[in-house]
Chains A and B, each alone.
Chain A
Amino acid sequence: MNDGLINQIGICIERGKVNKASPYPGDMVGEDGSDELTRKALSDGIGPDLILQACNSGMQRIGERFSRNEVFVPELLMAAKSMNAVMAHLKPYFQTGTVKAKGKFVIGTVAGDLHDIGKNLVSMVVEGNGWEVIDLGVDVKMSKFVDAVKANPGCIVGLSALLTTTMTNMSKTVQEIKAQFPDTVVIVGGAPLTSITAERMKADGYAPDPQGAVAFLNKVSMSWKNEIIA
Protein backbone atom coordinates (compact mmCIF):
# COMPACT_ATOMS: atom_id res chain seq x y z
CA MET A 1 0.00 0.00 0.00
CA ASN A 2 2.77 2.37 1.05
CA ASP A 3 4.84 1.36 -1.96
CA GLY A 4 1.94 2.31 -4.20
CA LEU A 5 1.65 5.75 -2.60
CA ILE A 6 5.39 6.33 -2.82
CA ASN A 7 5.47 5.27 -6.46
CA GLN A 8 2.52 7.53 -7.21
CA ILE A 9 4.39 10.53 -5.76
CA GLY A 10 7.32 9.71 -8.04
CA ILE A 11 4.97 9.53 -11.03
CA CYS A 12 3.42 12.90 -10.10
CA ILE A 13 6.89 14.44 -10.06
CA GLU A 14 7.82 12.93 -13.40
CA ARG A 15 4.54 13.97 -15.00
CA GLY A 16 4.40 17.42 -13.35
CA LYS A 17 1.14 16.80 -11.52
CA VAL A 18 1.13 19.41 -8.74
CA ASN A 19 -2.28 19.00 -7.11
CA LYS A 20 -5.82 17.82 -7.73
CA ALA A 21 -6.93 21.20 -9.09
CA SER A 22 -4.16 21.30 -11.67
CA PRO A 23 -5.37 20.61 -15.23
CA TYR A 24 -1.89 19.33 -16.14
CA PRO A 25 -1.18 16.75 -17.42
CA GLY A 26 -4.37 16.21 -19.37
CA ASP A 27 -4.60 12.48 -18.65
CA MET A 28 -4.40 13.03 -14.87
CA VAL A 29 -7.14 15.65 -14.50
CA GLY A 30 -9.04 15.24 -11.23
CA GLU A 31 -6.42 12.92 -9.71
CA ASP A 32 -4.46 13.75 -6.58
CA GLY A 33 -1.14 15.47 -7.20
CA SER A 34 2.17 15.44 -5.36
CA ASP A 35 0.73 17.91 -2.84
CA GLU A 36 -2.16 15.72 -1.66
CA LEU A 37 -0.22 12.46 -1.91
CA THR A 38 2.69 13.76 0.19
CA ARG A 39 0.29 14.97 2.87
CA LYS A 40 -1.33 11.54 2.87
CA ALA A 41 2.01 9.73 2.94
CA LEU A 42 3.23 11.71 5.93
CA SER A 43 -0.02 11.17 7.81
CA ASP A 44 0.28 7.44 7.05
CA GLY A 45 3.65 7.51 8.78
CA ILE A 46 5.82 7.14 5.69
CA GLY A 47 9.27 8.59 6.39
CA PRO A 48 10.20 11.84 4.64
CA ASP A 49 13.44 10.26 3.41
CA LEU A 50 11.42 7.66 1.47
CA ILE A 51 9.25 10.39 -0.04
CA LEU A 52 12.34 12.33 -1.02
CA GLN A 53 13.86 9.24 -2.59
CA ALA A 54 10.72 8.76 -4.71
CA CYS A 55 10.85 12.41 -5.76
CA ASN A 56 14.47 12.15 -6.79
CA SER A 57 13.67 9.05 -8.85
CA GLY A 58 10.84 10.97 -10.55
CA MET A 59 13.14 13.91 -11.27
CA GLN A 60 15.80 11.52 -12.49
CA ARG A 61 13.36 9.97 -14.96
CA ILE A 62 12.13 13.30 -16.33
CA GLY A 63 15.75 14.46 -16.53
CA GLU A 64 16.68 11.44 -18.59
CA ARG A 65 13.75 12.05 -20.92
CA PHE A 66 14.88 15.67 -21.22
CA SER A 67 18.39 14.53 -22.15
CA ARG A 68 16.88 12.29 -24.82
CA ASN A 69 14.87 15.29 -26.19
CA GLU A 70 11.60 13.50 -25.42
CA VAL A 71 10.48 16.41 -23.23
CA PHE A 72 11.57 20.05 -23.00
CA VAL A 73 11.96 22.91 -20.50
CA PRO A 74 8.17 23.28 -19.95
CA GLU A 75 7.82 19.65 -18.76
CA LEU A 76 10.94 20.08 -16.63
CA LEU A 77 9.44 23.19 -15.06
CA MET A 78 6.18 21.41 -14.32
CA ALA A 79 8.13 18.57 -12.69
CA ALA A 80 10.09 21.08 -10.61
CA LYS A 81 6.84 22.77 -9.58
CA SER A 82 5.41 19.41 -8.53
CA MET A 83 8.60 18.70 -6.61
CA ASN A 84 8.37 22.06 -4.87
CA ALA A 85 4.88 21.12 -3.67
CA VAL A 86 6.45 18.11 -1.95
CA MET A 87 9.31 20.18 -0.56
CA ALA A 88 6.82 22.54 1.10
CA HIS A 89 5.63 19.55 3.18
CA LEU A 90 9.17 18.30 3.83
CA LYS A 91 10.60 21.69 4.83
CA PRO A 92 10.12 21.12 8.59
CA TYR A 93 12.05 17.83 8.33
CA PHE A 94 14.95 19.60 6.60
CA GLN A 95 14.93 22.25 9.32
CA THR A 96 15.11 19.67 12.10
CA GLY A 97 17.74 17.63 10.23
CA THR A 98 15.52 14.54 9.88
CA VAL A 99 16.24 14.61 6.16
CA LYS A 100 19.28 16.15 4.58
CA ALA A 101 19.71 18.02 1.32
CA LYS A 102 22.19 16.57 -1.17
CA GLY A 103 24.31 19.65 -0.66
CA LYS A 104 24.33 23.41 -1.01
CA PHE A 105 24.29 25.12 -4.36
CA VAL A 106 25.11 28.83 -4.47
CA ILE A 107 23.91 30.44 -7.69
CA GLY A 108 23.89 33.94 -9.15
CA THR A 109 24.04 35.96 -12.37
CA VAL A 110 27.46 37.58 -12.55
CA ALA A 111 28.15 41.31 -12.16
CA GLY A 112 26.99 43.49 -15.02
CA ASP A 113 24.22 41.14 -16.08
CA LEU A 114 20.59 41.51 -15.02
CA HIS A 115 19.16 38.44 -16.72
CA ASP A 116 17.57 36.03 -14.29
CA ILE A 117 15.22 33.68 -16.13
CA GLY A 118 17.87 31.10 -16.98
CA LYS A 119 19.23 31.27 -13.46
CA ASN A 120 15.74 30.88 -11.98
CA LEU A 121 15.04 27.84 -14.14
CA VAL A 122 18.26 26.20 -12.99
CA SER A 123 17.51 27.10 -9.34
CA MET A 124 14.06 25.51 -9.50
CA VAL A 125 15.19 22.31 -11.13
CA VAL A 126 18.23 21.92 -8.86
CA GLU A 127 16.12 22.55 -5.77
CA GLY A 128 13.59 20.06 -7.06
CA ASN A 129 16.39 17.51 -7.16
CA GLY A 130 16.97 17.78 -3.44
CA TRP A 131 19.67 20.44 -3.23
CA GLU A 132 19.54 23.46 -0.97
CA VAL A 133 19.77 26.47 -3.27
CA ILE A 134 21.17 29.79 -2.13
CA ASP A 135 20.18 32.28 -4.81
CA LEU A 136 22.30 35.43 -4.72
CA GLY A 137 20.21 37.14 -7.42
CA VAL A 138 21.44 39.11 -10.44
CA ASP A 139 24.38 41.49 -10.99
CA VAL A 140 26.29 39.66 -8.26
CA LYS A 141 29.73 41.04 -7.49
CA MET A 142 32.73 38.77 -7.12
CA SER A 143 33.01 39.56 -3.40
CA LYS A 144 29.42 38.42 -2.81
CA PHE A 145 30.16 35.01 -4.33
CA VAL A 146 33.31 34.74 -2.22
CA ASP A 147 31.38 35.68 0.93
CA ALA A 148 28.73 33.07 0.11
CA VAL A 149 31.38 30.35 -0.28
CA LYS A 150 32.90 31.44 3.03
CA ALA A 151 29.51 31.24 4.73
CA ASN A 152 28.63 27.87 3.15
CA PRO A 153 31.67 25.59 3.31
CA GLY A 154 31.48 22.71 0.87
CA CYS A 155 28.97 24.39 -1.38
CA ILE A 156 29.07 24.15 -5.17
CA VAL A 157 28.90 27.46 -7.02
CA GLY A 158 26.91 28.12 -10.19
CA LEU A 159 27.59 31.22 -12.28
CA SER A 160 25.10 32.38 -14.90
CA ALA A 161 25.48 34.96 -17.68
CA LEU A 162 23.55 35.89 -20.80
CA LEU A 163 25.80 38.62 -22.13
CA THR A 164 29.10 38.00 -23.85
CA THR A 165 30.54 41.05 -22.08
CA THR A 166 29.85 39.59 -18.68
CA MET A 167 31.79 36.47 -19.56
CA THR A 168 34.89 38.45 -18.58
CA ASN A 169 33.38 39.02 -15.15
CA MET A 170 32.46 35.37 -15.00
CA SER A 171 36.02 34.34 -15.75
CA LYS A 172 37.37 36.70 -13.06
CA THR A 173 34.83 35.38 -10.57
CA VAL A 174 35.84 31.76 -11.25
CA GLN A 175 39.50 32.71 -10.77
CA GLU A 176 38.82 34.60 -7.54
CA ILE A 177 36.80 31.75 -6.03
CA LYS A 178 39.46 29.25 -7.07
CA ALA A 179 42.23 31.47 -5.67
CA GLN A 180 40.57 31.74 -2.26
CA PHE A 181 38.91 28.31 -2.16
CA PRO A 182 40.80 25.97 -4.50
CA ASP A 183 38.59 22.98 -3.62
CA THR A 184 35.32 24.71 -4.37
CA VAL A 185 33.60 23.29 -7.42
CA VAL A 186 32.35 25.90 -9.88
CA ILE A 187 29.92 25.29 -12.72
CA VAL A 188 29.02 27.88 -15.36
CA GLY A 189 26.14 28.24 -17.80
CA GLY A 190 24.34 30.70 -20.03
CA ALA A 191 23.61 31.44 -23.66
CA PRO A 192 27.00 32.83 -24.74
CA LEU A 193 28.95 29.97 -23.16
CA THR A 194 30.19 26.74 -24.58
CA SER A 195 32.10 23.86 -23.02
CA ILE A 196 35.23 25.35 -24.59
CA THR A 197 34.79 28.80 -23.01
CA ALA A 198 33.98 27.16 -19.68
CA GLU A 199 37.18 25.16 -19.87
CA ARG A 200 39.16 28.29 -20.76
CA MET A 201 37.92 30.10 -17.67
CA LYS A 202 38.94 27.07 -15.58
CA ALA A 203 35.44 26.22 -14.42
CA ASP A 204 34.94 22.65 -13.25
CA GLY A 205 31.83 22.17 -15.32
CA TYR A 206 29.53 23.60 -17.95
CA ALA A 207 25.77 23.09 -18.09
CA PRO A 208 23.94 23.80 -21.34
CA ASP A 209 20.57 23.50 -19.56
CA PRO A 210 19.01 22.98 -16.09
CA GLN A 211 19.19 19.21 -16.31
CA GLY A 212 22.85 19.47 -17.28
CA ALA A 213 23.44 21.35 -14.03
CA VAL A 214 21.62 18.68 -12.02
CA ALA A 215 23.56 15.88 -13.71
CA PHE A 216 26.83 17.65 -12.90
CA LEU A 217 25.88 18.32 -9.27
CA ASN A 218 24.75 14.73 -8.72
CA LYS A 219 27.98 13.46 -10.26
CA VAL A 220 30.06 15.63 -7.93
CA SER A 221 27.95 14.60 -4.94
CA MET A 222 28.38 10.94 -5.86
CA SER A 223 32.16 11.29 -6.23
CA TRP A 224 32.32 12.94 -2.78
CA LYS A 225 30.34 10.06 -1.30
CA ASN A 226 32.65 7.53 -2.94
CA GLU A 227 35.68 9.36 -1.57
CA ILE A 228 34.22 9.18 1.93
CA ILE A 229 33.49 5.46 1.54
CA ALA A 230 37.01 4.82 0.19
Chain B
Amino acid sequence: MSNSDQLIYKEQDACEVKINFEKLVIDKNEIGISLGYSAGKTPSYFMNMIDEVVEKLSLYCKPRGGYKIFNIDSPRIKPDGIYINNTFYKMDKIITGQIKKSEKVAVFVCTIGSAMELWSKELFSQGNPMLGYIVDTVASAAIESTADYLHNIIGNVMLNEELKITNRYSPGYCNWSVTDQHLLFSLLPENFCGISLSESALMLPIKSISGVIGIGRNVKKMKYICDKCGVQDCTYRPYFLAMNKRRHFKIKV
Protein backbone atom coordinates (compact mmCIF):
# COMPACT_ATOMS: atom_id res chain seq x y z
CA MET B 1 0.00 0.00 0.00
CA SER B 2 1.40 3.42 -0.91
CA ASN B 3 1.29 6.26 1.57
CA SER B 4 -1.27 8.12 -0.55
CA ASP B 5 -3.63 5.15 -0.14
CA GLN B 6 -3.64 5.86 3.58
CA LEU B 7 -4.90 9.42 3.18
CA ILE B 8 -8.54 9.89 4.13
CA TYR B 9 -8.77 13.59 3.53
CA LYS B 10 -6.68 16.73 3.44
CA GLU B 11 -7.84 20.09 4.77
CA GLN B 12 -5.62 23.16 5.11
CA ASP B 13 -2.63 20.85 4.49
CA ALA B 14 -3.63 18.69 7.47
CA CYS B 15 -3.87 15.02 6.50
CA GLU B 16 -6.16 12.57 8.24
CA VAL B 17 -4.84 9.08 7.55
CA LYS B 18 -6.51 5.71 7.70
CA ILE B 19 -5.65 3.90 10.92
CA ASN B 20 -6.28 0.24 10.33
CA PHE B 21 -7.59 -1.32 13.57
CA GLU B 22 -6.31 -4.73 12.52
CA LYS B 23 -2.77 -3.35 12.50
CA LEU B 24 -2.89 -2.08 16.09
CA VAL B 25 -0.67 -4.08 18.39
CA ILE B 26 -2.29 -4.88 21.72
CA ASP B 27 0.16 -6.89 23.78
CA LYS B 28 -1.73 -8.58 26.61
CA ASN B 29 1.52 -9.16 28.46
CA GLU B 30 2.22 -5.42 28.41
CA ILE B 31 -1.26 -4.76 29.74
CA GLY B 32 -0.49 -7.12 32.61
CA ILE B 33 2.74 -5.20 33.21
CA SER B 34 0.88 -1.89 33.30
CA LEU B 35 -1.44 -3.44 35.93
CA GLY B 36 1.71 -4.04 37.99
CA TYR B 37 2.62 -7.68 37.31
CA SER B 38 5.90 -9.04 36.05
CA ALA B 39 5.89 -10.35 32.48
CA GLY B 40 3.83 -13.53 32.27
CA LYS B 41 2.82 -13.35 35.93
CA THR B 42 -0.64 -11.77 35.59
CA PRO B 43 -3.11 -13.96 37.56
CA SER B 44 -5.32 -15.98 35.23
CA TYR B 45 -8.54 -14.39 36.55
CA PHE B 46 -7.33 -10.94 35.46
CA MET B 47 -5.75 -12.32 32.28
CA ASN B 48 -9.16 -13.75 31.34
CA MET B 49 -10.65 -10.30 31.83
CA ILE B 50 -7.98 -8.81 29.58
CA ASP B 51 -8.81 -11.47 26.96
CA GLU B 52 -12.51 -10.66 27.23
CA VAL B 53 -11.92 -6.94 26.73
CA VAL B 54 -9.38 -7.33 23.92
CA GLU B 55 -11.79 -9.67 22.14
CA LYS B 56 -14.45 -6.93 22.10
CA LEU B 57 -12.00 -4.15 21.32
CA SER B 58 -12.92 -3.84 17.65
CA LEU B 59 -16.50 -2.96 18.66
CA TYR B 60 -15.41 -0.07 20.87
CA CYS B 61 -12.07 1.17 19.55
CA LYS B 62 -12.41 3.53 16.60
CA PRO B 63 -8.93 4.84 15.87
CA ARG B 64 -8.42 8.07 13.95
CA GLY B 65 -5.31 10.14 13.44
CA GLY B 66 -3.69 12.83 11.36
CA TYR B 67 -0.90 15.32 11.10
CA LYS B 68 0.28 18.55 9.51
CA ILE B 69 3.86 19.41 8.58
CA PHE B 70 5.37 22.80 9.43
CA ASN B 71 8.75 24.28 8.68
CA ILE B 72 10.46 25.29 11.88
CA ASP B 73 10.89 29.07 11.87
CA SER B 74 14.30 30.63 12.17
CA PRO B 75 15.94 30.65 14.66
CA ARG B 76 15.06 26.99 14.40
CA ILE B 77 15.57 25.67 17.88
CA LYS B 78 16.48 27.59 20.99
CA PRO B 79 17.50 25.75 24.16
CA ASP B 80 14.19 26.71 25.74
CA GLY B 81 11.81 26.00 22.86
CA ILE B 82 10.97 26.25 19.16
CA TYR B 83 9.11 28.61 16.83
CA ILE B 84 6.30 27.10 14.76
CA ASN B 85 4.19 29.43 12.63
CA ASN B 86 5.66 32.48 14.36
CA THR B 87 4.61 31.19 17.75
CA PHE B 88 7.15 30.24 20.39
CA TYR B 89 6.56 26.92 22.12
CA LYS B 90 8.48 26.86 25.36
CA MET B 91 9.93 23.41 25.93
CA ASP B 92 12.44 21.78 28.20
CA LYS B 93 15.88 20.86 26.93
CA ILE B 94 14.79 17.21 27.27
CA ILE B 95 12.76 17.87 24.10
CA THR B 96 14.77 20.59 22.35
CA GLY B 97 17.90 18.47 22.78
CA GLN B 98 16.23 15.68 20.83
CA ILE B 99 14.74 17.79 18.05
CA LYS B 100 17.42 20.45 17.67
CA LYS B 101 18.55 19.14 14.28
CA SER B 102 15.00 19.09 12.89
CA GLU B 103 14.13 21.15 9.83
CA LYS B 104 10.40 20.51 10.03
CA VAL B 105 7.95 19.32 12.60
CA ALA B 106 4.84 17.14 12.30
CA VAL B 107 2.03 18.26 14.58
CA PHE B 108 -0.13 15.19 15.13
CA VAL B 109 -3.28 14.07 16.94
CA CYS B 110 -4.91 10.68 17.30
CA THR B 111 -7.75 9.10 19.25
CA ILE B 112 -9.60 5.83 19.75
CA GLY B 113 -12.95 7.60 20.21
CA SER B 114 -15.09 7.74 23.32
CA ALA B 115 -16.76 4.29 23.35
CA MET B 116 -14.09 2.67 25.53
CA GLU B 117 -14.29 5.35 28.23
CA LEU B 118 -18.08 5.11 28.23
CA TRP B 119 -17.87 1.33 28.55
CA SER B 120 -15.48 1.67 31.48
CA LYS B 121 -17.69 4.23 33.23
CA GLU B 122 -20.71 1.98 32.76
CA LEU B 123 -18.90 -0.97 34.35
CA PHE B 124 -17.86 1.15 37.33
CA SER B 125 -21.41 2.38 37.83
CA GLN B 126 -22.73 -1.19 37.56
CA GLY B 127 -20.50 -2.25 40.43
CA ASN B 128 -17.89 -3.99 38.31
CA PRO B 129 -14.87 -1.75 38.90
CA MET B 130 -12.35 -4.49 38.21
CA LEU B 131 -13.53 -4.97 34.63
CA GLY B 132 -13.96 -1.19 34.29
CA TYR B 133 -10.34 -0.74 35.31
CA ILE B 134 -9.20 -3.38 32.81
CA VAL B 135 -11.22 -1.67 30.05
CA ASP B 136 -9.50 1.62 30.86
CA THR B 137 -6.06 -0.02 30.88
CA VAL B 138 -6.70 -1.75 27.54
CA ALA B 139 -7.96 1.58 26.13
CA SER B 140 -4.67 3.19 27.18
CA ALA B 141 -2.75 0.46 25.37
CA ALA B 142 -4.95 0.96 22.29
CA ILE B 143 -4.33 4.71 22.08
CA GLU B 144 -0.59 4.17 22.54
CA SER B 145 -0.65 1.66 19.70
CA THR B 146 -2.65 4.10 17.57
CA ALA B 147 0.00 6.76 18.18
CA ASP B 148 2.73 4.24 17.31
CA TYR B 149 0.93 3.43 14.07
CA LEU B 150 0.53 7.10 13.13
CA HIS B 151 4.16 7.72 14.07
CA ASN B 152 5.20 4.98 11.63
CA ILE B 153 3.02 6.38 8.85
CA ILE B 154 4.62 9.81 9.29
CA GLY B 155 8.03 8.13 9.31
CA ASN B 156 7.27 6.34 6.04
CA VAL B 157 5.95 9.48 4.37
CA MET B 158 9.10 11.35 5.36
CA LEU B 159 11.31 8.49 4.23
CA ASN B 160 9.96 9.03 0.71
CA GLU B 161 11.42 12.54 0.94
CA GLU B 162 14.66 11.10 2.32
CA LEU B 163 13.96 12.59 5.72
CA LYS B 164 14.06 10.96 9.12
CA ILE B 165 11.95 11.48 12.22
CA THR B 166 12.44 11.81 15.99
CA ASN B 167 10.48 10.45 18.94
CA ARG B 168 7.13 12.06 19.63
CA TYR B 169 6.65 14.62 22.39
CA SER B 170 3.41 15.83 23.94
CA PRO B 171 2.35 18.88 25.92
CA GLY B 172 2.10 17.90 29.56
CA TYR B 173 5.20 15.71 29.43
CA CYS B 174 8.92 16.45 29.68
CA ASN B 175 8.14 19.81 31.28
CA TRP B 176 6.22 21.02 28.21
CA SER B 177 3.25 22.96 29.58
CA VAL B 178 -0.04 21.31 28.74
CA THR B 179 -1.57 24.77 28.22
CA ASP B 180 0.33 24.80 24.91
CA GLN B 181 -2.29 22.32 23.70
CA HIS B 182 -4.37 25.35 22.76
CA LEU B 183 -1.55 26.75 20.60
CA LEU B 184 -0.91 23.34 19.09
CA PHE B 185 -4.56 22.76 18.25
CA SER B 186 -4.75 26.24 16.67
CA LEU B 187 -2.38 24.90 14.00
CA LEU B 188 -4.90 22.23 12.97
CA PRO B 189 -8.41 22.41 11.48
CA GLU B 190 -11.20 22.63 14.05
CA ASN B 191 -12.30 19.26 15.46
CA PHE B 192 -9.53 17.56 13.48
CA CYS B 193 -9.98 13.75 13.63
CA GLY B 194 -12.98 14.33 15.92
CA ILE B 195 -10.84 15.68 18.76
CA SER B 196 -11.71 18.85 20.62
CA LEU B 197 -10.05 20.67 23.46
CA SER B 198 -11.64 21.78 26.71
CA GLU B 199 -10.83 25.12 28.34
CA SER B 200 -8.43 23.28 30.66
CA ALA B 201 -6.61 21.72 27.68
CA LEU B 202 -8.24 18.33 28.16
CA MET B 203 -8.64 16.45 24.90
CA LEU B 204 -12.05 14.94 24.22
CA PRO B 205 -12.36 12.01 23.69
CA ILE B 206 -10.12 11.47 26.71
CA LYS B 207 -8.20 8.61 25.10
CA SER B 208 -6.39 10.88 22.64
CA ILE B 209 -2.76 11.86 22.13
CA SER B 210 -1.34 15.00 20.57
CA GLY B 211 2.20 16.17 20.05
CA VAL B 212 5.07 16.92 17.74
CA ILE B 213 7.62 14.82 15.87
CA GLY B 214 10.85 16.37 14.62
CA ILE B 215 11.76 15.83 10.95
CA GLY B 216 15.11 16.28 9.23
CA ARG B 217 18.04 14.73 7.44
CA ASN B 218 20.13 14.48 10.59
CA VAL B 219 17.65 13.42 13.26
CA LYS B 220 16.98 10.02 14.74
CA LYS B 221 14.59 8.20 17.01
CA MET B 222 16.22 7.74 20.41
CA LYS B 223 15.60 5.22 23.12
CA TYR B 224 13.64 7.17 25.68
CA ILE B 225 15.44 7.50 28.98
CA CYS B 226 13.46 8.45 32.08
CA ASP B 227 16.57 9.49 33.96
CA LYS B 228 16.81 12.60 31.77
CA CYS B 229 13.79 13.85 33.70
CA GLY B 230 14.13 15.14 37.24
CA VAL B 231 10.79 13.87 38.50
CA GLN B 232 11.97 10.96 40.60
CA ASP B 233 8.60 9.86 42.01
CA CYS B 234 6.74 10.15 38.71
CA THR B 235 3.81 7.70 38.48
CA TYR B 236 5.08 6.40 35.14
CA ARG B 237 8.69 5.74 36.10
CA PRO B 238 8.15 2.23 37.59
CA TYR B 239 6.18 1.24 34.49
CA PHE B 240 8.96 2.30 32.16
CA LEU B 241 11.57 0.64 34.30
CA ALA B 242 9.52 -2.56 34.08
CA MET B 243 8.97 -2.19 30.38
CA ASN B 244 12.53 -1.03 29.67
CA LYS B 245 11.27 0.23 26.36
CA ARG B 246 11.59 3.38 24.36
CA ARG B 247 8.05 4.71 24.85
CA HIS B 248 8.00 8.13 26.39
CA PHE B 249 4.54 8.38 27.80
CA LYS B 250 1.51 6.42 28.70
CA ILE B 251 -1.96 7.39 29.75
CA LYS B 252 -2.91 6.01 33.13
CA VAL B 253 -5.70 6.42 35.73
Contact = CB atoms under 8 A, between A and B. Distances in A.
Interface of A: 23-26, 69, 72-74, 77-78, 80-81, 84, 111-118, 120-121, 124, 162-166, 169, 191-192, 194-196, 208
Interface stretch (B6-14, B57-65, B156-164, B230-238): B230-238
A114 B201 CA distance: 11
Question: What 5 pairs between A and B have smallest CB-CB spacing?
Answer: A72-B36, A112-B200, A117-B253, A118-B253, A191-B235
5 contacts: A74-B35, A78-B130, A163-B172, A165-B202, A191-B252
Nearest to B232: A194
Given A26-B44, A208-B235, A164 B133 contact: no
B49 to A, nearest CB: 9
B36 A165 contact: no
Given A81-B129, A117-B136, A121-B129, A166 B200 contact: yes
B22 interface: no
B219 interface: no
B126 interface: no
Given A117-B136, A194-B233, A73 B35 contact: yes
A72 B136 CA distance: 16
Contacts, number: 89
A145 to B, nearest CB: 17
Contacts of A24: 45
Given A78-B130, A114-B206, A117-B253, A165 B35 contact: no
Interface size classification for chain B: 35 or more
A77 B49 CA distance: 14
Contact of B200 (A74, A80, A113): A113
B45 A195 contact: no
B127 to A, nearest CB: 8
A117 B132 CA distance: 9
A111 B199 CA distance: 11
With most chain B CB atoms within 10 A of its CB, the pick from A113, A163, A195, A208 is A163
B178 interface: yes
A73 B129 contact: no
B19 to A, nearest CB: 24
B179 interface: yes
Given A114-B206, A165-B178, A194-B234, A73 B44 contact: no
Given A74-B130, A194-B233, A117 B124 contact: yes
Nearest to B134: A74
A111 B202 CA distance: 11
B31 to A, nearest CB: 11
Given A73-B36, A77-B129, A194-B234, A112 B198 contact: yes
Contact of A164 (B43, B178, B232): B178
Given A112-B198, A118-B253, A81 B36 contact: no
A165 B253 contact: no
B172 A73 contact: no
Nearest to B182: A165
B65 to A, nearest CB: 21
Contacts of A69: 36
Nearest to B133: A77
A191 B239 CA distance: 13
A57 B120 CA distance: 30
Interface string B193-224: 00000111110101000000000000000000
B233 A195 contact: yes
A117 B178 contact: no
B166 to A, nearest CB: 22
A113 B36 CA distance: 25
Contacts of B36: 69, 72-74
